[in-house]
Amino acid sequence: MALLNILRYPDPRLHKVAKPVTVFDARLKRLIADMAETMYDAPGVGLAATQIDVHEQLIVIDVSETHDALQVFINPEIVWASEEKRVYDEGCLSVPGVYDGVERPAQVRVKALDGDGQPFELEADGLLAVCIQHEIDHLKGKVFVEYLSPLKRNRIKTKLVKEERELQRHRQKAVAAR
Residues with a known catalytic role = 135
Alpha-carbon span 40 to 125, nearest angstrom? 22
Do residues 26 and 64 touch, judged by C-beta distance below 8 A? no
Do residues 141 and 16 touch, judged by C-beta distance below 8 A? yes
Write down the H helix ranges in the chain: 26-41, 126-139, 150-176
The response to whether 134 counts as a known ligand-binding position is yes
**Total residue length of the chain:** 178
Alpha-carbon span 96 to 132, nearest angstrom? 19
Structure letter (DSSP) for residue 17: P
Secondary structure class of 177 (helix, strand, coil)? coil
Do residues 103 and 82 touch, judged by C-beta distance below 8 A? no
- What are 59's strand-pairing partners? 48, 73
Q: Give binding residues for Fe cation as ranges.
A: 92, 134, 138
Q: Give binding residues as ranges.
A: 92, 134, 138
